[in-house]
Amino acid sequence: MDYHWKELIPGDRYRSKCSGMLHEYDRKLATMLYQPLLGTAALGLYMTLWAELEQDRLWGQEHTHHRLMALTQMSLKSFYAERIKLEAIGLLSTYVKEEQDSRIFYYELRSPLKPNEFFNDGMLNIYLYNRVGHTTYMQLKRFFTDEEREAGENVTRSFDEVFYSLQPSEISLQEEEGPGENQTYIKDAEKTEPSFSEAAFDFDLLFEGLSQSVISKKSITPAVKETIIKLSYVYGIDPLNMQNLLMDSLQPDETIDRELLRKCARDWYDFQYGKQTPKLAEINKVQPVKHRTVLDQGELTTEQMMIRQLETMTPYQYLKDVYEGAEPTLADLQVIEEVMLQQKLLPGVANVLIYYVMLKSDMKLSKGYVQRIAGHWARKKITTVAGAIELAKTENKKYLEWAEGKSRSSSGGRKPIRSEMVPEWMKEKENTAGEPAVPSKEENGTEDLEAEKLKIEEWIKNFKSPPKNDS
């Protein structure tokens, strides 16, 4: 969130508003269902904005963000981070309006999803289960349900059985008046589910693998697309596996059964990982489009192809590909996820980190080494694959010393015990024949280890066709 100061400053004004009435029941929903997902700070901000609405009114008074920061005891950076959490989960919509030399923000509060919508969402309920555990999850579910009984025969009177119709002479000819100018009737607040952009999933790759004779593009409706994106995000399903799940969910009338698709996704995840519940995993995300540098579909150099590949794969997919389809160990996944969360590394940058560290640490993701380099990249504010590669080139000598457990001051000019293999993209120059220099073998290594390292380098040299542009 280092760019928060570009988005707003304490002197910017704001008003809280609501699209309709929020009720005490909504407060319970937000506290018990959303708080475990967002944390107390985000919920506190939501409640503060809600409290600024006068009773039975839709608009709050205009104030500066400085006042809001004082009320919530948040820094501007913290406020911005919690605000976008509320936006992402569907509890807040933010609008900004430029007014001469200032700007004003409108924070529109949204109603939480009702219990039946939340517990059948297919994403929020899974994350809640993961956060609170089975016992608390079932308690919450029971809290928002009640017994259903047959009430007996319905003997309620209808309107016409009680009231008489007016006579023509009694009907006023005056036209019914609506609300005044710039006025509206008060109603219940609107609710919004968390939304995703289509860039979150590679639909081009999905459609390439779907035979038109089996599944038509017409079957992939906007509602089905939304379900696909959610399932892909929650369970880490790539386009190739999603094709098979769609085949299993296809109905005789050529529609996709979304409930069946959700069940197939859960079964696929159970088969892959057992009965573990998916987490909010950074490791299953790809590099955001705005932080990609190779979006061109034209002729690409080897390095551009490599960058493109690292930008369009999740760290999980990348680890799996490096190990030739074998499932990455939970320890390796946790090491990468931890630095992505703590150091705020983007997925493409994490892929470069994985590749570099494995070559420097005997094909292992040494936690201390990963964290040290990740911390350095975070301080340097590295956000692109190309930037990570360039920094790795520049600081290669320092990182080699870290790999040997030395610092510049303690090395004393002594030669390293072994000669490390350096990826092609880390080398500044080629040899006189124009070919990349051949890496030397480790003096204390084995032939198998060297062969594994060469496999990774060969993987980089012989890329598959680069994925299609998302745009």
> In a 3-state reduction of DSSP, which class is residue 18?
strand
Can you give the pLDDT at residue 43? 93
Q: What is the DSSP letter of 32?
A: I
Residue corresponding to tokens 């005789």: 252
Q: What are phi and psi of 265, to 5 degrees?
A: -65, -40
Q: Helix-strand-coil percent breakdown of the chain, rounded to 5? A: 50, 5, 40
Contacts of 411 (CB under 8 A, 6+ apart): 401
What's the whole-model pTM score?
A: 0.46
With 0-12 / 13-18 / 19 or more C-beta atoms within 10 angstroms meaning exposed / middle / buried, residue 424 is middle
Q: How far apart are CA 366 and CA 357, in angstroms?
A: 8
Q: Which of 280, 335, 336, 331 is nearest to 313 (CA)?
A: 336
Q: What are phi and psi of 133, to 5 degrees?
A: 90, 165
Handedness of CA 27, 28, 34, 36 (dihedral sign): positive
Q: Encoding tokens for residue 126?
A: 């899974």
Q: How far is CA 88 from CA 42, 125, 193, 339, 351, in A?
A: 11, 15, 9, 22, 25
Can you give the pLDDT at residue 437? 43
> In a 3-state reduction of DSSP, which class is residue 172?
coil
Q: Which of 446, 400, 447, 448 is nearest to 423 (CA)?
A: 400
> Mean pLDDT in runs of 10 for the chain (471 residues)?
68 87 88 92 93 79 90 90 90 88 89 89 85 90 81 75 58 50 54 61 78 75 84 78 87 86 82 59 70 72 82 82 74 79 84 86 80 90 90 85 59 45 47 42 48 56 44 38
